[in-house]
Structure 1
Amino acid sequence: MRILLVTHYYAPEFGAPQRRWSALIQRFIAAGHQVTVAAPVPHYPSGRPTPQQSRDHRVGAVERGGHGETVLRTAYLPHRSDIGTRTADHVVAAADSLRRLLRRFTRPDARPDVVIATAPAIPSLLVGRVLALHWKVPLVAEMRDAWPDLVTHVGPAGAVPVELAHAASPAPLRKGLGLLIGYAKGAVHHTVTHRQQGAQTVVTTTGRFAEVLRERGIAEPQVVRNGTDLDGVHPQVDHAPGDHPELRCLYLGNMGRSQGLDTLVRAAARLREQGVPIEVRMIGHGVEATALAALAHELDAPVQVLPRIEHSDVEEQYAWADTVVVSLRGWAPFAWTVPSKLYELLATRRHVTALLDGEAAEVVREAGAGDVLAPQDEDALVRLWGRLAADRSLAAVRDSGRAWVAEHADDDVLAARYLGMLEDVVRGNAMEGRTAGA
């Protein structure tokens, strides 16, 4: 089977989409399939390639990926962290990928048997649909997390982002901006749902979002979770009694608006004031990192905000911790999502402090992996970490989380499920072609 993946995020970048597709493609190729990936020159997360990436990757280059896949590098647009320049980057990359792929696959016998287009970025879905229609092959639209709901979620109707609310006075202008933003986001939502409905199969990473898609008219969405490689995650052990007096709490991942991490800083500051020995490490990158460090300084909280580290250094941090944290705000679409990092945390055997709702909370409870609190519940977090600090046995390692991953979210299991689905889609398309030609 010849597989084409259209994506905006790919190795050697680090991130959840990149890790997912590296794991899947490694196993697709090991099973004897051919994979071509169309992706821009690496430029995540900064919006620009590093000097090394600029030397190693060129627009238009055809590379051999780390697992034997063919990678076609497309154009990109340097961008900042705002949604406007990032969306422009997505559009530029998508347009260039469409042009280059149409030129690359001119011979019918060399064309892909199936096209997978994955969002984010949303323009990739349009490219996938155009190519699939042009080549008369099936399209698989993969919706990582609750897309487009996360990008179109604005809370109460007509709400205006804070940065615009400050800039947009008087009140009539604020109201006008609210209506304009609401209209634009509604249009995005309608467009993406239409693109989903144009695919032979829609893949999502959670069961709850699959239910939402069914309600929107998507027939039989498939669920292939994010996952982790159990062989690549070292199971942790308990610290020796008296090894350290403080409770060690680790957050490792994105520090954006979605995570609500100020709750951790405020809880740690309150516990310090109560005389509870505690240390919090927050490691990663994101638009909120600077603000979190400033808040920790202002509150004199026992919190370190540290830059992103290489994946090879992650195990050292897991070994340091007593509990690992996963956190999302209480926004409605997050009830349908599961942070991809959660599966790796479960595999470490460490106690999980989960400030989550919805399916992600259900995973932690089902796995018996730790304690689940309501999103951004600062009081509950103070009480929980106080108990763990007083009785470290409550944060003892447990095998149940790793066992849950082995059954539900191991990369080998997920890749086999994905391949089976792709083979069914290709087989069904071939049968339809024979019927139409009869």
Structure 2
Amino acid sequence: MAGRAPRGALHARQKPSSGHRVLLVTHHYAPETGAPQRRWGALVARFIPAGVDVSVLTPPPHYPSGTLAPGSEAHLPGTVSRGAHGERIIRVRYREHTTSLVSRTLDHLVAALSSIHLGWRRLRRRTVRPTVVIGTVPGIPSMFAAWALARIFRAALVVEMRDAWPDLIRPSGIMTGSLAQRRPGRAFATTLAHRVITRLQSRADLVVTTTETFADVVRSRGARNVAVVRNGTAFPVVSRPAVAAGTDLAPRPFRVVYAGTLGRSQGLEVVVRAAALVESRGLPIEVRIVGAGNDATQLAGLARSLGAPVTIGPPIPHAEIDALYNWADTLVVSLRDWEPFQWTVPSKLYEVMASGHHVTACVAGESAELVLSLEAGDVVPPGDVEALANLWAGYATSGIAPVASHAASAWVAAHANDDVLAETYLALLDGLTR
């Protein structure tokens, strides 16, 4: 990982030594909201004042619904506009999709092919021709479009892996699942995709991961230049724990909150089942789950069938998150028990640690080590309903709210700060083009 410039150096430098022209190929971008969109919004906001010319190839806003977002007429395919930070945004074609794998994959493929076509048409002039092309995942076809454009423009290729692809393909079952025996071609496609993605990582001029653990995995597979640029968080970092030690819970229930994506990767059924188990022991508990995702309906049905003390609602405005967090005694971060998740740290964990609240972490690997080493909260094995219920039952019985160490928010301020992350990224780009 490249050395970091001193804090504040990003704003002092007027122009990078190599005069980068960066092309970002991504399936998710503002005005959409989400972790990938937030990451690149924060980076671009710092790249441009540093003298970097940024172009973005991305579809119109259509996440997570799969249809064009209301009020997006100015972002239709083929349009070119300036983003909030002065970046050049070229909107590529997309395909309306449902929640099915095939439908979403076709959307990604359409956008990737359109990115190659429109990228060549719009960016071949010498003044805008990119010197660095960055393909960012999620949206696996984006990395292949980035590879093609880097070859066309004779530019450096950066492959950014926000998640542990291709390793997540097999445990997630997105290409096999329960249909594996009836559709053996999916198993072959899984193996082929793993090999092709790994090969592309090894051929990139730079692979960027968000954790040290996954960086080591990628290096072990032959990638010649791998660096870590962690995810950041827009949540204001507090200077002290949100709850004072010894805070009495009585006479109310123990309060739990999860706010984020309600998808298969999060495995939130463990939260619903644990809440039902705690209540069955005669202990007061109240759980709120807010967000959007493919599992929202299933989770609501499970809560009803168990009679669990769980309410599930839609995403809330960012301005209301702080009040929701302050209502809670603990905030949940959850991932399934899939090996590749041991190599990742969800951006939600940084947000929770920044808030100063206690975290209930249903995670393993690097995420678990981070929570334990910084005393940010408690860790239970992913998917372990009994362990999670025992943890919450213990706090409900004691009547004392759990407390996080100040070390957690201090670590976020030092290592997940957007200024620091942008400085690191710019230093890596400088190294590519020297």
The one of 377, 383, 386 equivalent to 1:370 is 377
| Deviation of the 1:247 alpha carbon | 0.7
Q: What is the one-letter code of the residue matched to 1:145?
A: D
The one of 72, 87, 112 equivalent to 2:105 is 87
Structure having greater relative contact order (Cα 8 Å, sep ≥ 6): 2
The CA distance in 1 between the partners of 2:236 and 2:422, in whole Å, is: 15
Return the TM-score normalized by structure 1.
0.90
Deviations for 1:350-384, whole angstroms, at most 9, x for unmatched residues? 00000111111111112210001100111111111
State whether structure 2 residue 151 is matched by structure 1 residue 133: yes
**Retained in 2: the 8 A contact 1:279–1:302?**
yes
Structure 1 residues 316 and 217 mapped into 2: Cα distance closer, same or farther (>3 Å)?
Answer: same
Q: What is the one-letter code of the residue matched to 2:189?
A: A
State whether structure 2 residue 236 is matched by structure 1 residue 218: no
Aligned twin of 2:52: 33
Q: What is the one-letter code of the residue matched to 1:191?
A: V
Structure 1 residues 104 and 406 mapped into 2: Cα distance closer, same or farther (>3 Å)?
Answer: same
SS in 2 for 1:281: strand
SS in 2 for 1:108: coil
SS in 2 for 1:195: helix
| Deviation of the 1:159 alpha carbon | 10
The CA distance in 2 between the partners of 1:200 and 1:259, in whole Å, is: 32
Deviations for 1:310-341, whole angstroms, at most 9, x for unmatched residues? 22221121111110001111111111111111
Aligned twin of 2:196: 191
Structure 1 residues 382 and 128 mapped into 2: Cα distance closer, same or farther (>3 Å)?
Answer: same
Return the TM-score normalized by structure 2.
0.91
Deviations for 1:195-222, whole angstroms, at most 9, x for unmatched residues? 2122100111111111111111111311
Aligned twin of 2:343: 336
Deviations for 1:374-404, whole angstroms, at most 9, x for unmatched residues? 0011111111101112335451243121011
The CA distance in 1 between the partners of 2:250 and 2:182, in whole Å, is: 59
| Deviation of the 1:408 alpha carbon | 1.6
The one of 92, 95, 98 equivalent to 1:77 is 95
Aligned twin of 2:181: 175
Residue pairs, 1:383-398, within 5 angstroms = 383-393=390-400, 395-398=402-405
The CA distance in 1 between the partners of 2:235 and 2:278, in whole Å, is: 35
Aligned twin of 1:206: 211
SS in 2 for 1:228: coil
Aligned twin of 1:171: none
Deviations for 1:167-213, whole angstroms, at most 9, x for unmatched residues? xxxxxxx6352x32211111111111122122100111111111111
Structure 1 residues 62 and 233 mapped into 2: Cα distance closer, same or farther (>3 Å)?
Answer: farther
The one of 352, 362, 375 equivalent to 2:359 is 352
**Retained in 2: the 8 A contact 1:152–1:188?**
no
**Retained in 2: the 8 A contact 1:230–1:410?**
no
The one of 297, 308, 314 equivalent to 2:315 is 308
Q: What is the one-letter code of the residue matched to 1:356?
A: V
SS in 2 for 1:66: coil
State whether structure 2 residue 171 is matched by structure 1 residue 153: yes
**Retained in 1: the 8 A contact 2:254–2:286?**
yes
Deviations for 1:247-269, whole angstroms, at most 9, x for unmatched residues? 11001111111111111111111
The one of 137, 146, 162 equivalent to 1:119 is 137
Aligned twin of 2:14: none
**Retained in 2: the 8 A contact 1:60–1:74?**
yes
The CA distance in 1 between the partners of 2:266 and 2:225, in whole Å, is: 31
The CA distance in 2 between the partners of 1:9 and 1:29, in whole Å, is: 19
Structure 1 residues 397 and 366 mapped into 2: Cα distance closer, same or farther (>3 Å)?
Answer: closer
Aligned twin of 1:169: none
| Deviation of the 1:57 alpha carbon | 1.6
SS in 1 for 2:361: strand
| Deviation of the 1:235 alpha carbon | 6.8
Structure 1 residues 230 and 46 mapped into 2: Cα distance closer, same or farther (>3 Å)?
Answer: closer
Residue pairs, 1:104-115, within 5 angstroms = 104-115=122-133
| Deviation of the 1:229 alpha carbon | 3.4
**Retained in 2: the 8 A contact 1:47–1:79?**
yes
Structure 1 residues 358 and 397 mapped into 2: Cα distance closer, same or farther (>3 Å)?
Answer: closer
**Retained in 1: the 8 A contact 2:263–2:296?**
yes
| Deviation of the 1:154 alpha carbon | 5.4
Aligned twin of 1:66: 84
Aligned twin of 1:405: 412
| Deviation of the 1:61 alpha carbon | 1.0
The one of 22, 38, 46 equivalent to 1:3 is 22
The CA distance in 1 between the partners of 2:324 and 2:182, in whole Å, is: 48
The CA distance in 1 between the partners of 2:142 and 2:215, in whole Å, is: 20
SS in 2 for 1:301: coil
The CA distance in 2 between the partners of 1:364 and 1:235, in whole Å, is: 17
Structure 1 residues 329 and 67 mapped into 2: Cα distance closer, same or farther (>3 Å)?
Answer: same
SS in 1 for 2:181: helix
Q: What is the one-letter code of the residue matched to 2:34?
A: G
Instruction: Identify the structure with the greater helix proportion.
Output: 1
The one of 233, 252, 255 equivalent to 2:262 is 255
State whether structure 2 residue 424 is matched by structure 1 residue 417: yes
**Retained in 2: the 8 A contact 1:145–1:206?**
no
The CA distance in 2 between the partners of 1:418 and 1:393, in whole Å, is: 43
SS in 2 for 1:304: strand
State whether structure 2 residue 30 is matched by structure 1 residue 24: no
Structure 1 residues 153 and 269 mapped into 2: Cα distance closer, same or farther (>3 Å)?
Answer: closer
Aligned twin of 1:379: 386
Counting matched residue pairs gives 413
Deviations for 1:28-52, whole angstroms, at most 9, x for unmatched residues? 1122222111110010001012222
Question: Among the aligned pairs, what percent are the same residue?
Answer: 48
The CA distance in 2 between the partners of 1:235 and 1:198, in whole Å, is: 45
The CA distance in 2 between the partners of 1:226 and 1:148, in whole Å, is: 19
State whether structure 2 residue 227 is matched by structure 1 residue 227: no
The CA distance in 2 between the partners of 1:315 and 1:403, in whole Å, is: 18
